[in-house]
């Protein structure tokens, strides 16, 4: 629409310019034709005069002779519409004058007094130079053209002159141009003004819609309910967006419910599998101990049963940790101290496996980030333990923190073999693990802790070492 407005303004200006130039060219052409007309009329007058004075011996000038000269002038100018003229002598002034095409009530016989000085000047110039001379006098709406040419004959100091007026501004053509320009201005520039107003109003209303779409409520991804703008065209779009948002919200809740049911099914299957294995092992140990009458296997069987009980206890503790939605207890945390304390609790285990474990200092930024130190340390503990279990001797594990815009980034990077391809897609789901002795709840717990902080966890690199990144708001709103 902005491009259309610019095109309207440019086309209006260009059209007006072209019309004005066209009129100017028409006026110039009209002026050139008028000059040609008076010049030709003066030549005709000279030819008629030359024919008139043939055989004349130069009798003294009297009224009868002046009347005859007037007839010569009238005959010469009869075919030149709008042209007046006469015969001029330097000593006596006007000898003859005629305006045969005058459109008044009767024939015009009086020499025009307003232009008398101009007529005298142009005749004097033609007599002096012995060739034709012209004078233009520009007025507001017309140009006066006076032309003079020397006349040969028995009389001395005689010249012929012709005069006409060329309309350049006012008149029918000018009125038509002015009407056209006014109509053009009213239509094109009126349309441009209307379009500019529409652009201004619509841009404000569209900005309101954009602002409303950007203002999402904390903890929801649903489209907000948009208020109507008052513009029918935009309100149809608003209604369509509101309707779409409602349908998306319904479908999202359905998809979330289906996802929860699917996750619950997978969790139930995994939990049954994890519980069945220790129970089967305890049953086997107990049956073997009972098969020996002297009780020599009882102690070993009881120890094995206790180990399986510990395994079940760990499984249930992790499961409760993952499913209990405990709200974080936020506090300002110094990242350098927090990272050093978290890494220090795993340094002996890493050293026993020949792995170098390092902690970064985090970004020096104020104010300090807000998080639940105990929950976030539990999340980093799980990531560090996974890294230690998957990194061969001689490898390194780096724990660091960073800041991007308004988010806190916590990273754990190792130089292990990476994540197996068959578990990458479901890496953060419960009971998904790449180790035979793992419960598959560690990364699921990390994801739940991140979500409790209104953030998330993701795998940045899964080949040639794994990089896990937890992203949470730097300061919770």
Q: Is the pLDDT of residue 163 over 90?
A: yes
Return the H-helix or E-strand segment holding 167: strand 158-167
- Return the DSSP state at 61: P
Angle between helices 232-291 and 298-323 (to 10 degrees): 170
pLDDT of amino acid 107: 79
* Both tokens assigned to 353: 């496996």
Residue pair 108/99 in contact (Cβ under 8 Å)? The answer is: yes
- The pLDDT-based confidence of 65 (bands split at 50, 70, 90) is confident
CB 476, CB 370: distance < 8 Å = yes
The pLDDT, as a whole number, for residue 413 is: 93
Please answer whether residues 88 and 161 qualify as being in contact, where contact means their C-beta atoms are separated by less than 8 angstroms.
Answer: yes
Give percent of the chain with pLDDT exceeding 90.
Answer: 29
Q: CA dist 161 to 61, 104, 132, 166, Å?
A: 19, 21, 9, 17
CA dist., res. 221 & res. 392, Å (int): 42
**By the 8 A CB rule, do 158 and 88 touch?**
yes
pLDDT > 70 in the chain, percent: 78
Give the separation between CA 374 and CA 380, rounded to whole angstroms: 10
How many whole angstroms from its chain centre is CA 62?
A: 88
Helices (H), 372-418: 373-390
Phi and psi angles of residue 96, each rounded to the nearest 5 degrees, phi first: -155, 150
Instruction: Output the average pLDDT for the chain.
Output: 80
CA-CA distances (angstroms) from residue 378 to 312, 362, 435? 20, 18, 20
pLDDT for position 285: 73
What pLDDT does residue 218 have?
44
- Helices and strands, number each (H, E), in the chain: 11, 12
* Interval 273-307: pLDDT, tens: 567 667 777 777 777 777 776 666 677 777 777 77
Range 317-335 average pLDDT? 73
pLDDT of residue 336: 92
């Amino acid at each position: 629409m902005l491009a259309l407005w610019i095109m309207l303004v440019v086309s209006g200006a260009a059209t007006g310019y072209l019309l004005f130039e066209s009129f100017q060219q028409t006026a110039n052409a009209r002026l050139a034709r008028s000059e040609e007309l008076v010049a030709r009329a003066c030549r005709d007058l000279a030819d008629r005069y030359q024919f008139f004075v043939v055989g004349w011996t130069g009798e003294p000038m009297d009224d009868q002779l002046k009347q005859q000269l007037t007839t010569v002038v009238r005959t010469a100018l009869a075919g030149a519409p709008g042209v007046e003229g006469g015969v001029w002598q330097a000593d006596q002034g006007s000898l003859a004058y005629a305006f045969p095409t005058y459109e008044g009530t009767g024939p015009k016989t009086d020499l025009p007094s307003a232009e008398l000085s101009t007529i005298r000047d142009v005749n004097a110039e033609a007599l002096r130079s012995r060739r034709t001379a012209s004078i233009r006098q520009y007025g507001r709406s017309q140009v006066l053209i006076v032309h003079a040419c020397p006349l040969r004959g028995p009389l001395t100091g005689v010249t012929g002159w012709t005069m006409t007026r060329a309309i350049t501004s006012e008149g029918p053509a000018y009125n038509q141009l002015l009407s056209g320009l006014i109509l053009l201005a009213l239509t094109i520039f009126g349309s441009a003004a209307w379009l500019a107003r529409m652009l201004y109003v619509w841009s404000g209303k569209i900005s309101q819609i954009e602002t409303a779409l950007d203002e999402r409520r904390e903890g929801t991804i649903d489209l907000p309910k948009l208020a109507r703008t008052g513009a029918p065209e935009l309100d149809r779009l608003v209604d369509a967006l509101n309707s779409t948002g409602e349908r998306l919200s319904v479908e999202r809740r359905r998809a979330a419910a289906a996802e929860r049911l699917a996750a619950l099914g997978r969790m139930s299957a995994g939990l049954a599998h994890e519980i069945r294995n220790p129970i089967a092992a305890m049953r086997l140990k107990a049956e073997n101990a009972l098969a020996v009458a002297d009780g020599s296997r009882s102690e070993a069987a009881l120890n094995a049963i206790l180990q399986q009980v510990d395994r079940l206890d760990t499984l249930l503790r992790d499961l409760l940790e993952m499913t209990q939605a405990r709200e974080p207890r936020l506090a300002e945390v110094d990242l350098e101290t927090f990272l050093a304390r978290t890494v220090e609790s795993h340094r002996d285990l890493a050293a026993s496996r020949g792995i170098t474990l390092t902690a970064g200092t985090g970004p020096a930024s104020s104010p300090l980030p807000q998080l639940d130190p105990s929950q976030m340390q539990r999340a980093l503990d799980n990531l560090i333990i996974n890294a230690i279990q998957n990194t061969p001797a001689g490898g390194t594990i780096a724990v660091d923190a960073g800041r991007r815009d308004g988010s806190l980034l916590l990273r754990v990077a190792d130089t292990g073999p990476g994540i197996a391809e068959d578990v990458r897609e479901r890496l953060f789901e419960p009971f998904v693990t790449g180790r035979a002795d793992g419960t598959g709840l560690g990364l699921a717990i990390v994801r739940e802790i991140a979500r409790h902080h209104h953030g998330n966890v993701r795998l940045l690199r899964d080949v040639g070492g794994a990089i896990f990144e937890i992203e949470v708001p730097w300061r919770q709103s």
